[in-house]
Structure formats: structure tokens, C-alpha cells
Chains A and B, each alone.
Chain A
Amino acid sequence: MAVTVTFVSKVFSVVLLIIVLLETIVALRTIQTELNPGCDDTKEDCAGGVAYIKAIGDQNTFHYILTAIGPPTVLVIKTEKTTKDAGISINWDNFKSGNITEMENSIKLDPSYKILYSYGVVFTRLFQYNDTTDVAELGKLNLNKTAFRVFDFSRSMFEWFDLKAISSDSAIKLRVKNSSAVMGQTINNGSLEFKFMFFDHMDRATDLPHLQYTEDTSQFDFKLMNINTGNMSLSRFALETVLFSTDPADRDMKFDETKSIDDEYTPGVFTISNWLTRPEKEEQGGYLQHKPVCYTKAYRERAVGTYVRGYGLTKVTDVQYLLNQSAVLAYFGSENMAKLRISSTNFSFGLSEDGTFTKTNYTVWTGSLGYGKPPMDAVSSLVVVVISVGLGIPVVLIIFGGIFVCLKKKSDPLLVDVSKNAMSVN
């Protein structure tokens, strides 16, 4: 019986495999990338640069505007589809000026598009602290005794490489060139990098944590490496992140954590977090999705994974000056920016007893920024087969074995409990 079940399961898994192989990847959107539109690198300085990605679908189009001019920002605009080949226009001088009034409306989307929704993310600050007590949690630090650095991603403090030189059509990189020193330490020469990837189909990332992506999402890696942490020999980092959307500001965003027993895609991680811009109607809102794990070596594996801690959402107040330098202001203008729904949180990297950032001097964290209902992991058919075959056969054996024994016991006197025999001897 066991043999037949194994055989059936084998056939089943082969069929599954064939189905998977036959399932060709269907492109659901057309991706068009423009780097530094309207800025000629050969003649002028495009600073950190701007990437403009258009993901054109049958129903609608997503416009992604990425820039490291000002704090690193991704702005996503959802529009109806138009037949025209129009895009964005940038007044580079005004955008680069950093002056609020000059910057206003220096980035414009072609008016032929009917805008449906906009949202996006701004990375505002990087915190560094010397975790001498190894708590790895921002709220538990004794701020009087902990050496603490704050790096503002402000225009005056950070200089970024021109993204055009280091990016490809499908992977946009925002890479730090240099920073001014905070307590004697700089972040320079590519030690900090954001990488954004765009997709025309639905699949799962090849790298851990194997997050699922769709044609409506982009995935990002945030990477820190080769930082001379100097006298902070137990350095840990945290990234302040701001999410905004064109929803009414009187309601709040939501940070959801979902637990699952299934960690097949991300071994050792049983949680997935979704930061929703529009919890009242999540299928028509944006989200930032991540699993609370980052990897401390370039070769990602479970053993080098450590924790990413999220903190409660707060309304943005103390980084307004950074938003005022960002592409958000350049696109919306200050009046409309004030109407946006905005909230922020910190993501801190590391966990007690993991040796801190300094141990490997490398951390990479992956998330995705998307629109609609966030993809949720489902137990894969492989695991279902493994569970049902692996546990089914023994359970069936035990049940039938049990019945067999009971029947046999009745008919075969040899199997009658020996104690009765022996007692009768006495």
C-alpha cells in the first residue's frame, strides 16, 4: 500500500512540475525607463539624477519617479492609460535649487493623464548607535549613555552618485558618494545604497527573503556596507522611513503584522508586515511590504539573517524640513503636500546576540512598494504534498495496523495478552 501511495505522489509531483514548467511568464505591463529625462549629463550636472519608469498596463499606468536629489524618494502615480507617449517634465535648475518656492511644481506629469492615486516613500534619516548593552531596540536605549549619530539625508549633508551612471533599465540605484561627518564619521563611497527593481509580471524574488512581486510592485534593497564605524565598535543602524499618499489626512495609515506557520519561502521567518497607506480600502491603496529579516552577508542565507524591528507609526513632524527638500514637494507643491496622508516609522536592524552590524560590516534589507492588496504567502503545493504523503502514509499504516491487530487478537489465541495466559498458570 505504501508503495502505491508513494507512486501516486510521485506521479502527482511530476505533473505539478510539468504544469509549473508550462506556465510561461506572461508580461502584464510594459516597462519604459528614462534616466535623467531632460538633463544632458554631458553638458550639465544632474546631481543624484532622476529615474522615470512607466509601467504601462491594459487598464492603467504606474509612473515611478525615483530620485536622490534631496532625501531618497520614490513617488508612484497611478493614472488611466493614455495612448500618447507622454511622460514627466522636470525643471532641473529649480528642482536642484533646494529652495522651497523654486522647487514647487518643478516636476510635472503630462496633463493628458488622468491621475487616480499617488503614494510613495521617502527615506529621511539614518540612525547609528553603539549598542553597548546589546538590546537592539531603539525604545530601550539609555540615550544619556548611548553614543548616537543621526544622519539626515538632507541636501547639505549627503552627496549622491548620479544614478544614471550606475543604474540599468530594470534596476535603479541610489548610491551615496559622500556625507559630511557626524561625530567624526562619514558614510561615503557607496557604503549606503538603495536599489529598486521593477517588474512586468508576477513572481517571487530569487534572493531571500523571496518576497513575492507583481506587475504593480517594485522591490527595493537597502544596503549598508564597509562603514568605518570608528569608536562605535558595537554599531547598529536604523532607517527612518516616511510613507505618503493622496488620501485624506484625517485618517491614519496602518502597520499590519501577519503570522504564518509556513516559513518555506523565508526559512526562520514566520511574519510578514504590511504598512498600508489606505487601510480603509486596501485594494485601492499603496503598501510597503517586508519580512522582518535582513541579511548580514552578501550571500543571503538563514544563518546570516537577523531581525528587522518596526516601531509604531507616527505622524511626521520633526522631519518636515527634509520633506521640504524632497521630490514630494517638487511634485505636489507645499500646499498640496500639506494635505497628504503621511506617517513614518523606524526600521532598526539587528537583534541581541547577533554580534551587531560591526561583526560583518554588511546589512541588506529587502521590501516591496506596491499598489493594491499586498500579496500574501500561501502554503505551496510542494509542501502540501510533502505533508500529506509524509504524514498520510504513517497515519494510514497505524490505523490499518491497529485494526489488523484488533482483528488478529480476536482470532489468534497466540496474540492474546500474555498476562492472561500467565495468570491462568497460577
Chain B
Amino acid sequence: MTESEKKPLLGSTDEEEEKLTGCGKTLCCNPFRFLHRYLILIIMCFLSFGSYFCYDNPAALQDTMIKDLKISESAFMGFYSWYSWPNVILCFFGGFLIDKTFGVRLGAIIFSLFVTAGQVVFALGALVNKVWLMDVGRFIFGIGGESLAVAQNTYAVKWFQGRELNMVFGLQLSFSRVGSTVNMNIMQPIYKFVSNSGHKGYECLGIVLFIGGIICILSLICALALGYFDKRADRILQRKQLTSEETIRITDVKDFPATMWLLCIICVMYYVASIFEMKWDFDPSLANNVNSLVYIISAVASPVFGFLIDKTGRNIFWVILGTTVTIGCHALLAFTFINPYVAMITMGFSYSVLASALWPIAAQIVPNNQLGTAYGIMQAIQNLGLAVVAIIAGAIVDSKGYLVLEVFFLVCLCVALIASVLLYLLDASKGGKLNMSAKLRQIMKEEADREKEKEEKKPL
């Protein structure tokens, strides 16, 4: 990061038309300057922090929730199904609406509102001890949550494409991890605190969930702030406004290039293999340690890898590398007795590589006015994959054990690997735009700029 901080990444300030005065001129507030972009990045990261935080509220309070609400395990799991199943479709429409109607600014605000409202309804349901109301809350929360992630991705591309996009995606992954980790560690103490102050049972639970809702409001504020700054940057930077002809139609989806669908396949096949939590021959401390270790590693490593990928380019190679290493790790887990820490730690790293390298590729494939839809589709297919595979994986492990489950995951990963190799070939046959090295991309960009200048000068 240090290198890019030293020089302003967007040097040609002479195009500036609106005179920036006062505070707006300073490093922090000038959209032409790098520091402003990084400040925006912080807001961007907190945009979906609330939804990641509250998503795992039930898990953090699992035992107390089951006890206070007197519900079964399966009713508890319902809080997650009501979130995830609707999103198998909904976040596609969320992305589409961002492109078509709302725009990313209004979209982010609306989806943040849904997130906040969902959490409030969820908490209200707990407060009056109505499980169906809590399910409704989770449903509303889900409508917002996943689509908000789509909006966040779209924002990231809008502000960082051609610059630190891979690192930004890495950082977003890392924030989602931080969000759920903070939730896991903070909710129980809050619960204890509230119950010590005299509130008991579901009443206490409701209050605790309302407190969780405060984080959602924080995210809502971020959405509003981001909307303001984005609009301001549009004006100052004179970003191109979309004409009505350019806005997406639903039928445009069928014209998405094959590379986009390959990307979807990689996305779903890779992520399904990362969902499971292994039970290490009855060693709960090991299982807990290993799983949280992977979380921490990917939180720390993804921005670093993102930065590296920004410097080197060649995203598809990184994807192939990440997938191959993950295959190796799963093979270690399945076929050897080598300490699982080794495989899981390595997997934490390869996961980070993949997450940072994969998502920005979409921005190269699909024009910006269709990007919300593209990310919506990726997210929707991923959700579908996760939901279906969770069921399949459960059935496999219960009937045939972890060895066969690992083989199943290995097959999924091999499909992801094949898809990424195909992606490389298809791209290479079209000129290799996606897998360009950063250096070459820079050269090409300068080349293009020069061409443009020449053409602009010609009529004179």
C-alpha cells in the first residue's frame, strides 16, 4: 500500500472544472486525491458491517435463544433458512434493481433500511416471544443483507476499478470476518449484562437484539454518507451519467459472455467446499480453534493478497493457484493424518487469494451499467449452491462419513479448477484481457490514452 500512497494515483488534475474550496480542497475531501478514496473505503467497509454482525446474532446466542424462546434446534435453524433461501433469487433482483432503477446510492440506502428494519422486527419478535415474527424479521433482514453486499461490490468497482480493486475486495472479505467475529465475542457478554440488570428470558433476548440493531443503524448512516460522497464525486469528477438506452434490460442477462458464467461456476463450486466444519474425531477444542484460526487468517491475509494481486495482475492465475492449493489442502485432510492445522491454515490463505482475485474479474467482463446484476447473479448462484450443498453435505456425512464428504468437496473443487482453466483459455483466445499482468495493463492504458489524445487532436 505504501508505494501507491506516495503518489497520487490520478494525476491529471487539469480536467478539474468545479473549483474546490476550503475543506473540499484538502487531501481528505478531494475526490481526486488518494486519501479521500481511502476514507471512502473505510465507510464502504462499514456499510455491510452491520449486516454481517447481525447475520450471526443467532449463532452467538444459540443456547440462550433455544432456552429463552423454548424452541427446537430445527426452529432455530429456521432463522438461517429464512435468510438464505429467499436470497437464492432475491439478490439477483436486488442487483438488477441497482442497475435499472435505484442506482447504487439509493440501492445501498434502501437495502440498509431493510437490514435495519429486519433486525428491529427480529428483536421485536423476541421481545414478545413470537417465533413467526422473528422469522419475518430474518426474511426482511435477508432481503437487505445480500443485496447490500451486491451494492457494496458495485461501489467498490465504481471507486477502485483500475486501481486497488483486488485489495478492496480482500478488505471487504476481511471486514465481513471481523463483523461476525466481533458478534461472536460480544453478544454473550451483552446478554449477561442485560440479564443482570433484571430482564430475564425472551425479554432480555429482545433487548440484546435491539442493541445489535444499533450496529445496523451505523451501517445505514454509512450508506447515507456514501451516497452523499458518491454524488459529490460524480459531480466533481464528471463521471458519465447513464442514458436511458444504456440502462440494463432483464434480457441482457442472456447476453452475458460465457466467461461470466464460468466465473459463476468457479464461485459456487469453490465456495461450497469451504462451508463445512469438521469434527476432528471428538476433539471440540481443536475444531473450535481450527475454525476460528481460518477466520482470523483470511481476515488478515485477504487485503495483503489483494494488494499483491493489484501489483501483479494476472487474476486468473491467482484463481487457479488458490483453487489448486485448496485442492491440496482438502486432499491432505481426506487422505492423511497430518495435523489438520497445517491444511486448515494453508486453506485460510488460499481462500483469501481466491476471494481477492475472483470477484474483481466480473468487473472486467461485464460493463459497469450491468455490474449490479452480474454481482447479484454471482451472489444468488452462490447462495443457491451453499443452500443445496449444505443439505447434500449433511446427508453425505451422516450416511457415509467425512472421507466421502471430502471426496465430494474435492470433486467440486476440481470442477472449479476446470472452469478456471477454461476461463483462462477462453480469455486467452479473445486476447487475454482478464489475465493481463498489472504492468501490461498499465501500458495498455497509457497506449489507449495516447490514442485517445491523438484522435482528439485530429479535428483541430
A residues adjacent to B (C-beta < 8 A)? 259, 261-271, 292-293, 301-303, 306-307, 351-354, 383, 386-387, 390-391, 394-395, 397-398, 401-402, 405, 414-415, 417-419, 421-423, 425-426
Contact = CB atoms under 8 A, between A and B. Distances in A.
Nearest to A303: B398
Contact of A386 (B407, B414, B429): B407
Given A306-B282, A390-B411, A391-B407, A419 B440 contact: yes
A264 B437 contact: no
B418 A262 contact: no
B261 interface: no
A267 B400 contact: yes
Query: What are the 9 tightest A-B residue pairs by CB atom distance, in nearest-first order?
Result: A394-B414, A418-B432, A263-B401, A267-B401, A307-B282, A390-B411, A264-B401, A270-B281, A353-B284
A390 B414 CA distance: 9
A301 B428 CA distance: 50
Given A394-B415, A398-B417, A415-B429, A292 B404 contact: no
B397 interface: yes
B450 to A, nearest CB: 11
B398 A302 contact: yes
B404 A383 contact: yes
Contact of A261 (B285, B335, B400): B335
B400 A418 contact: no
Determine which residue in A267, A307, A395 has the highest number of CB atoms from chain B within 10 A of its CB, and name it.
A267
12 contacts: A263-B401, A303-B398, A354-B284, A391-B410, A394-B415, A394-B417, A397-B418, A415-B425, A415-B429, A417-B432, A422-B444, A426-B443
A268 B279 contact: yes
Interface in B199-247: none
A351 B282 contact: yes
A269 B278 CA distance: 12
Interface string B275-290: 0000101101100000
Nearest to B432: A418
B270 to A, nearest CB: 14
A210 to B, nearest CB: 10
Interface residues of B, number: 39
Interface string B384-404: 000000000000011111111
B403 A261 contact: yes
B102 interface: no
B159 interface: no
A271 B283 CA distance: 13
A268 B397 contact: yes
Given A264-B400, A302-B397, A352-B284, 18 more contacts: A261-B334, A261-B337, A262-B401, A266-B401, A267-B399, A269-B281, A271-B281, A303-B398, A390-B411, A394-B415, A398-B421, A415-B428, A415-B429, A417-B428, A418-B428, A418-B433, A419-B437, A426-B443
A394 B418 contact: yes
B447 interface: yes
B251 interface: no
Contact of B337 (A259, A264, A397): A259
Contact of A401 (B401, B418, B431, B440): B418
B2 interface: no
B336 interface: yes
A264 B397 CA distance: 8
Contacts of B397: 267-268, 302
Contact of A391 (B281, B398, B411, B433): B411
Determine which residue in B337, B399, B404 has the highest number of CB atoms from chain A within 10 A of its CB, and name it.
B404
Interface string B435-457: 11100100110010000000000
B408 interface: yes
A268 B401 contact: yes
B404 A391 contact: no
Contacts of B425: 405, 415
B284 A391 contact: no
Contacts, number: 103
A35 to B, nearest CB: 37
Nearest to B335: A261
Contacts of B400: 264, 267, 383
Contacts of B443: 422, 426
A58 B332 CA distance: 47
Interface string B311-323: 0000000000000
Nearest to B288: A353
Nearest to B444: A422
A383 B437 contact: no
Nearest to A409: B428
A263 B402 contact: yes
Contacts of B437: 419
B440 A383 contact: no
A313 to B, nearest CB: 21
Contacts of B444: 422
A269 B429 CA distance: 49
A405 to B, nearest CB: 6
A263 B432 contact: no
A303 to B, nearest CB: 7
Contacts of B410: 390-391
Nearest to A351: B282
Contacts of A383: 400, 403-404, 407
B399 A425 contact: no
A266 B417 CA distance: 31
A292 B280 CA distance: 13
A415 B403 CA distance: 40
Nearest to B425: A405
A386 B407 CA distance: 8
A264 B407 contact: no
A421 B415 CA distance: 31
A394 B411 contact: yes
Contacts of B440: 418-419, 422-423
A299 to B, nearest CB: 12
A301 B401 CA distance: 11
A263 B403 contact: yes
A259 B339 CA distance: 13
Nearest to A379: B403
A206 to B, nearest CB: 13
Contacts of A405: 421, 425
Contacts of B429: 414-415
A354 B443 CA distance: 60
A262 B336 CA distance: 10
B402 to A, nearest CB: 5
A263 B417 CA distance: 27
B284 A261 contact: no
A386 B404 contact: yes
A217 B442 CA distance: 74
A263 B335 CA distance: 11
Contacts of B401: 262-268
